[in-house]
């Protein structure tokens, strides 16, 4: 299992970013997203996309991240510009993930030091400041070595048929 924990959601201001974190988690192979704070709007949007475009993908909202970090029975990876290079640490993380669930933590604003401390790996996608969405996408693609791009979607109402030009969407029969 790969779960993405999104910390520090600020209602209004972060609705789009939190939605994009969860949609990116879903599209790029994670099994679920846990959104901390008042993120019901983002959660509804993602559940709606999963209904239409398929799953499985689970999204939940929670008030507090500390119990999740404390009780997580597996590996914790925290994505941060201050961490070790993704290109250096993804192999050992992947190896550990063969036997353990993986929690990938991303922030919004400032992230408390205890998260750095709890993480088994603090991972930087470059050591330049950018975005939790970009960092998550690169990390998941490296973790899955591109296999997530070819995933099957279950219980979708619709499916996009790739086109060189234009848009084609097919209804999916049950």
Query: Which residues of the chain form contacts with ligand SAM (CB under 6 A)?
Result: 79-81, 106-108, 110-111, 124-126, 128-132, 135
Burial class (CB in 10 A: 0-12, 13-18, 19+), 71: exposed
Which residue's CB comes closest to ligand SAM?
A: 107
Nearer to ligand SAM, 18 or 41 (CB): 18
The minimum distance between CB 124 and ligand SAM, in angstroms, equals 4
Nearer to ligand SAM, 42 or 111 (CB): 111
- Prior bond of 56 cis (ω within 30°): yes
List all residues 6 or more positions away from 155 whose beta carbon is below 8 Å from its beta carbon: 54, 55, 56
Nearer to ligand SAM, 52 or 66 (CB): 66
- What the block records as the tokens of 127 is 């050591």
The minimum distance between CB 160 and ligand SAM, in angstroms, equals 28
């Amino acid at each position: 299992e790969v779960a993405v924990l999104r910390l520090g959601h600020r209602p209004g201001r972060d609705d789009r970013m939190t939605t994009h974190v969860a949609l990116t988690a879903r599209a790029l192979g994670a099994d679920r997203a846990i959104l901390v704070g008042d993120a019901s709007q983002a959660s509804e949007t993602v559940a709606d996309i999963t209904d239409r475009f398929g799953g499985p993908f689970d999204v939940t909202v929670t008030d507090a991240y500390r119990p999740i970090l404390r009780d997580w029975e597996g590996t914790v990876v925290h994505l941060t510009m201050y961490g070790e290079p993704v290109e250096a640490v993804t192999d050992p993380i992947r190896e550990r993930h063969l036997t353990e669930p993986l929690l990938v933590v991303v922030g919004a604003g400032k992230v408390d030091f205890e998260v750095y401390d709890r993480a088994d790996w603090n991972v930087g996608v470059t050591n330049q400041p950018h975005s939790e969405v970009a960092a998550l996408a690169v990390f998941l693609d490296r973790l899955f070595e591109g296999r997530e791009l070819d995933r099957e979607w279950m219980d979708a109402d619709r499916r996009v048929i790739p086109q060189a030009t234009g848009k084609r969407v097919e209804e999916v029969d049950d």
